[in-house]
Structure 1
Amino acid sequence: MDSDVLTIDTGQRRIIDLTDAVRSFCGPRGDGLCSVFVPHATAGVAIIETGAGSDDDLVDTLENLLPRDGRYRHAHGSPGHGADHVLPALVSPSVTVPVQNGEPLLGTWQSVVLVDLNRDNPQRNVRLSFITG
Protein backbone atom coordinates (compact mmCIF):
# COMPACT_ATOMS: atom_id res chain seq x y z
CA MET A 1 0.00 0.00 0.00
CA ASP A 2 1.26 3.48 -0.89
CA SER A 3 0.35 6.25 1.52
CA ASP A 4 0.91 9.98 1.97
CA VAL A 5 -0.34 12.65 4.38
CA LEU A 6 -1.58 16.10 3.40
CA THR A 7 -1.57 18.91 5.96
CA ILE A 8 -4.54 21.22 5.46
CA ASP A 9 -5.39 24.56 7.09
CA THR A 10 -9.15 24.93 7.56
CA GLY A 11 -8.99 28.24 9.41
CA GLN A 12 -10.56 30.21 6.53
CA ARG A 13 -12.89 27.64 4.95
CA ARG A 14 -15.05 24.83 6.31
CA ILE A 15 -15.00 22.84 3.04
CA ILE A 16 -11.65 22.17 1.35
CA ASP A 17 -11.55 20.61 -2.12
CA LEU A 18 -9.04 17.73 -2.14
CA THR A 19 -9.77 16.50 -5.67
CA ASP A 20 -6.59 17.81 -7.33
CA ALA A 21 -4.45 16.33 -4.55
CA VAL A 22 -6.23 12.98 -4.91
CA ARG A 23 -5.72 13.03 -8.70
CA SER A 24 -2.05 13.90 -8.31
CA PHE A 25 -1.55 11.13 -5.76
CA CYS A 26 -3.31 8.51 -7.93
CA GLY A 27 -1.74 9.55 -11.26
CA PRO A 28 1.35 7.33 -11.33
CA ARG A 29 -0.27 4.37 -9.60
CA GLY A 30 -2.45 2.66 -12.25
CA ASP A 31 -5.55 0.71 -11.24
CA GLY A 32 -6.77 0.29 -7.69
CA LEU A 33 -8.57 2.00 -4.83
CA CYS A 34 -7.73 5.31 -3.21
CA SER A 35 -8.76 5.80 0.41
CA VAL A 36 -9.06 9.37 1.68
CA PHE A 37 -9.10 9.38 5.49
CA VAL A 38 -9.06 12.16 8.07
CA PRO A 39 -7.71 10.88 11.42
CA HIS A 40 -9.56 13.44 13.54
CA ALA A 41 -12.60 13.07 15.81
CA THR A 42 -14.15 16.30 14.53
CA ALA A 43 -13.83 16.25 10.73
CA GLY A 44 -15.02 14.19 7.79
CA VAL A 45 -14.60 13.57 4.08
CA ALA A 46 -17.37 13.75 1.49
CA ILE A 47 -17.94 13.55 -2.25
CA ILE A 48 -20.05 16.51 -3.40
CA GLU A 49 -20.37 19.04 -6.19
CA THR A 50 -18.41 22.20 -5.38
CA GLY A 51 -18.47 25.71 -6.77
CA ALA A 52 -22.21 25.81 -7.50
CA GLY A 53 -23.32 26.53 -3.94
CA SER A 54 -23.46 22.92 -2.72
CA ASP A 55 -20.45 23.39 -0.46
CA ASP A 56 -22.10 26.37 1.30
CA ASP A 57 -25.38 24.44 1.42
CA LEU A 58 -23.60 21.54 3.13
CA VAL A 59 -22.08 23.83 5.77
CA ASP A 60 -25.46 25.51 6.37
CA THR A 61 -27.22 22.15 6.64
CA LEU A 62 -24.67 20.74 9.07
CA GLU A 63 -24.77 23.88 11.20
CA ASN A 64 -28.58 23.61 11.32
CA LEU A 65 -28.41 19.92 12.25
CA LEU A 66 -25.60 20.49 14.76
CA PRO A 67 -26.21 23.89 16.39
CA ARG A 68 -23.35 25.43 18.30
CA ASP A 69 -24.93 25.82 21.71
CA GLY A 70 -24.80 24.36 25.20
CA ARG A 71 -26.83 21.19 24.63
CA TYR A 72 -23.85 18.84 24.30
CA ARG A 73 -22.39 16.71 27.08
CA HIS A 74 -18.99 17.00 25.42
CA ALA A 75 -18.53 20.58 26.57
CA HIS A 76 -14.88 21.66 26.42
CA GLY A 77 -13.48 24.13 23.88
CA SER A 78 -15.46 26.80 22.09
CA PRO A 79 -19.24 27.08 22.62
CA GLY A 80 -21.00 24.16 20.94
CA HIS A 81 -17.77 22.21 20.34
CA GLY A 82 -19.66 19.03 21.19
CA ALA A 83 -21.33 19.38 17.78
CA ASP A 84 -17.92 18.92 16.15
CA HIS A 85 -17.64 15.50 17.78
CA VAL A 86 -21.00 14.42 16.34
CA LEU A 87 -20.07 15.50 12.79
CA PRO A 88 -18.20 12.25 11.85
CA ALA A 89 -21.41 10.29 12.45
CA LEU A 90 -22.99 12.33 9.61
CA VAL A 91 -19.94 12.96 7.40
CA SER A 92 -17.73 9.88 7.38
CA PRO A 93 -14.04 10.23 8.22
CA SER A 94 -13.20 8.39 4.99
CA VAL A 95 -14.20 7.69 1.41
CA THR A 96 -12.82 5.18 -1.08
CA VAL A 97 -12.59 6.04 -4.77
CA PRO A 98 -11.97 3.51 -7.55
CA VAL A 99 -9.03 4.42 -9.80
CA GLN A 100 -8.40 3.29 -13.38
CA ASN A 101 -5.22 4.10 -15.29
CA GLY A 102 -4.27 6.53 -12.52
CA GLU A 103 -7.51 8.51 -12.79
CA PRO A 104 -10.03 8.59 -9.93
CA LEU A 105 -13.37 7.48 -11.36
CA LEU A 106 -15.36 10.43 -10.07
CA GLY A 107 -18.50 11.65 -11.79
CA THR A 108 -18.42 14.85 -13.84
CA TRP A 109 -19.48 17.10 -10.97
CA GLN A 110 -18.04 15.10 -8.06
CA SER A 111 -15.25 16.44 -5.87
CA VAL A 112 -13.60 14.93 -2.82
CA VAL A 113 -13.75 17.42 0.05
CA LEU A 114 -12.62 17.76 3.64
CA VAL A 115 -15.43 18.94 5.93
CA ASP A 116 -14.32 20.66 9.12
CA LEU A 117 -16.66 22.82 11.22
CA ASN A 118 -14.30 22.74 14.23
CA ARG A 119 -13.15 26.26 15.09
CA ASP A 120 -10.73 25.04 17.77
CA ASN A 121 -8.21 23.23 15.54
CA PRO A 122 -7.59 24.53 12.00
CA GLN A 123 -4.69 22.16 11.24
CA ARG A 124 -5.83 18.87 9.74
CA ASN A 125 -4.11 15.83 8.32
CA VAL A 126 -5.62 13.86 5.48
CA ARG A 127 -4.17 10.44 4.70
CA LEU A 128 -4.28 9.25 1.10
CA SER A 129 -3.71 5.51 0.67
CA PHE A 130 -3.58 3.54 -2.58
CA ILE A 131 -4.16 -0.18 -2.90
CA THR A 132 -3.25 -1.59 -6.28
CA GLY A 133 -5.97 -3.74 -7.80
Structure 2
Amino acid sequence: MKISVSSRSRVDLIDVTGEVEKNLKIKEGIVVVYTPHTTCGLFINEYDSGLKKDIVKLLEKLVPQGAGWAHDPEEGNADSHMRSILLGHSVVVPVDNGKLQLGTWQSIFFAELFGPRTREVIIKEIKG
Protein backbone atom coordinates (compact mmCIF):
# COMPACT_ATOMS: atom_id res chain seq x y z
CA MET A 1 0.00 0.00 0.00
CA LYS A 2 1.18 3.55 -0.66
CA ILE A 3 0.29 6.91 0.82
CA SER A 4 1.09 10.36 -0.50
CA VAL A 5 2.76 13.00 1.68
CA SER A 6 2.94 16.68 0.71
CA SER A 7 5.40 19.06 2.32
CA ARG A 8 5.12 22.82 2.59
CA SER A 9 8.78 23.82 2.90
CA ARG A 10 12.33 22.71 2.03
CA VAL A 11 12.62 20.90 5.38
CA ASP A 12 9.33 19.70 6.80
CA LEU A 13 8.58 17.09 9.48
CA ILE A 14 5.16 15.51 9.01
CA ASP A 15 3.36 13.12 11.37
CA VAL A 16 2.16 10.13 9.31
CA THR A 17 1.19 7.92 12.27
CA GLY A 18 -2.57 8.29 11.83
CA GLU A 19 -2.41 7.61 8.11
CA VAL A 20 -0.31 4.47 8.65
CA GLU A 21 -2.60 3.14 11.39
CA LYS A 22 -5.76 3.99 9.43
CA ASN A 23 -4.56 1.78 6.57
CA LEU A 24 -3.59 -1.26 8.67
CA LYS A 25 -5.26 -4.50 7.61
CA ILE A 26 -3.45 -6.96 9.89
CA LYS A 27 -4.29 -7.63 13.53
CA GLU A 28 -0.89 -9.01 14.56
CA GLY A 29 2.59 -8.65 13.07
CA ILE A 30 4.82 -5.78 12.02
CA VAL A 31 4.54 -2.88 9.64
CA VAL A 32 7.44 -1.51 7.63
CA VAL A 33 7.10 2.15 6.63
CA TYR A 34 9.52 3.09 3.85
CA THR A 35 10.20 6.01 1.54
CA PRO A 36 11.90 5.39 -1.82
CA HIS A 37 13.35 8.91 -2.08
CA THR A 38 17.00 9.86 -1.48
CA THR A 39 16.24 13.27 0.04
CA CYS A 40 13.66 12.14 2.61
CA GLY A 41 13.73 10.14 5.80
CA LEU A 42 11.58 8.42 8.39
CA PHE A 43 12.04 8.20 12.14
CA ILE A 44 10.12 7.78 15.38
CA ASN A 45 10.06 10.43 18.09
CA GLU A 46 7.74 12.73 20.02
CA TYR A 47 5.57 14.99 17.86
CA ASP A 48 6.07 18.31 19.66
CA SER A 49 6.44 21.68 17.92
CA GLY A 50 9.50 22.70 19.98
CA LEU A 51 11.15 19.33 19.42
CA LYS A 52 10.45 19.55 15.67
CA LYS A 53 12.30 22.87 15.58
CA ASP A 54 15.17 21.34 17.56
CA ILE A 55 15.42 18.37 15.17
CA VAL A 56 15.58 20.69 12.15
CA LYS A 57 18.18 22.84 13.93
CA LEU A 58 20.27 19.73 14.72
CA LEU A 59 20.15 18.54 11.10
CA GLU A 60 21.16 22.00 9.88
CA LYS A 61 24.05 22.09 12.36
CA LEU A 62 25.30 18.59 11.52
CA VAL A 63 24.95 18.99 7.74
CA PRO A 64 24.80 22.67 6.74
CA GLN A 65 23.31 23.66 3.41
CA GLY A 66 25.74 25.27 0.95
CA ALA A 67 28.91 24.19 2.77
CA GLY A 68 30.80 23.45 -0.44
CA TRP A 69 29.63 19.85 -0.86
CA ALA A 70 30.84 18.16 -4.06
CA HIS A 71 27.27 17.32 -5.15
CA ASP A 72 25.95 20.89 -4.76
CA PRO A 73 26.84 22.18 -8.25
CA GLU A 74 24.53 19.52 -9.72
CA GLU A 75 21.28 20.25 -7.82
CA GLY A 76 22.17 22.20 -4.68
CA ASN A 77 20.83 19.45 -2.45
CA ALA A 78 23.86 17.57 -1.11
CA ASP A 79 22.81 18.46 2.44
CA SER A 80 19.41 16.82 1.85
CA HIS A 81 21.02 13.58 0.70
CA MET A 82 23.37 13.44 3.69
CA ARG A 83 20.63 14.30 6.19
CA SER A 84 18.53 11.43 4.82
CA ILE A 85 21.44 9.06 5.47
CA LEU A 86 21.46 10.15 9.12
CA LEU A 87 17.71 9.59 9.51
CA GLY A 88 17.28 6.44 7.43
CA HIS A 89 14.51 5.55 5.01
CA SER A 90 12.35 3.17 7.03
CA VAL A 91 10.90 2.34 10.41
CA VAL A 92 9.50 -0.95 11.67
CA VAL A 93 6.66 -0.99 14.21
CA PRO A 94 4.97 -3.98 15.89
CA VAL A 95 1.20 -4.30 15.42
CA ASP A 96 -0.99 -5.80 18.14
CA ASN A 97 -4.77 -6.07 17.96
CA GLY A 98 -4.75 -3.89 14.83
CA LYS A 99 -2.90 -1.01 16.54
CA LEU A 100 0.62 0.31 16.17
CA GLN A 101 2.61 -0.48 19.29
CA LEU A 102 4.17 2.93 19.74
CA GLY A 103 5.05 4.44 23.09
CA THR A 104 2.81 7.07 24.66
CA TRP A 105 4.66 9.99 23.08
CA GLN A 106 5.92 8.29 19.92
CA SER A 107 4.87 9.23 16.40
CA ILE A 108 6.13 8.25 12.97
CA PHE A 109 7.75 11.25 11.29
CA PHE A 110 8.20 11.68 7.55
CA ALA A 111 11.09 14.10 7.00
CA GLU A 112 11.08 16.07 3.77
CA LEU A 113 14.58 17.42 3.24
CA PHE A 114 14.34 18.94 -0.27
CA GLY A 115 10.82 20.24 -0.65
CA PRO A 116 8.24 21.37 -0.99
CA ARG A 117 7.15 18.24 -2.85
CA THR A 118 4.64 15.43 -2.88
CA ARG A 119 6.28 12.13 -1.97
CA GLU A 120 5.37 8.49 -1.71
CA VAL A 121 5.51 6.36 1.43
CA ILE A 122 5.20 2.59 1.13
CA ILE A 123 3.56 0.63 3.92
CA LYS A 124 4.24 -3.12 3.99
CA GLU A 125 2.49 -5.31 6.54
CA ILE A 126 3.94 -8.63 7.65
CA LYS A 127 1.42 -10.84 9.39
CA GLY A 128 2.68 -12.47 12.57
Given the two structures, how large is their TM-score scaled by the length of structure 2? Answer: 0.91
State which of 80, 102, 122 in structure 2 corresponds to 1:127. Answer: 122
Distance between the aligned counterparts of 1:123 and 1:77, measured in 2?
18
CA contact (8 A) 1:30 1:101 kept: yes
State which of 101, 111, 123 in structure 1 corresponds to 2:97. Answer: 101
Larger deviation, residues 108-117 vs 6-15: 6-15
Structure 1 runs (4+) deviating above 6 angstroms are none
Letter in 1 for 2:58: T
State which of 39, 44, 47 in structure 2 corresponds to 1:47. Answer: 44
Structure 1 residues without counterparts, runs of 5 or longer: none
Aligned to 2:81: 85
Given the two structures, how large is their TM-score scaled by the length of structure 1? Answer: 0.88
Secondary structure of 1:29 counterpart: coil
Give deviations 1:61-90, integer Å, cap 9, x for gaps.
Answer: 101111111421112224xx1011112221
State which of 13, 16, 19 in structure 1 corresponds to 2:14. Answer: 16
Secondary structure of 1:125 counterpart: strand
How many residues of Structure 1 are paired with residues of Structure 2 in the alignment?
126
Shift of 1:5: 0.8
Give deviations 1:18-45, integer Å, cap 9, x for gaps.
Answer: 010111122x410011000000011100
Q: Is 1:36–2:25 an aligned residue pair? A: no
CA contact (8 A) 1:48 1:54 kept: no
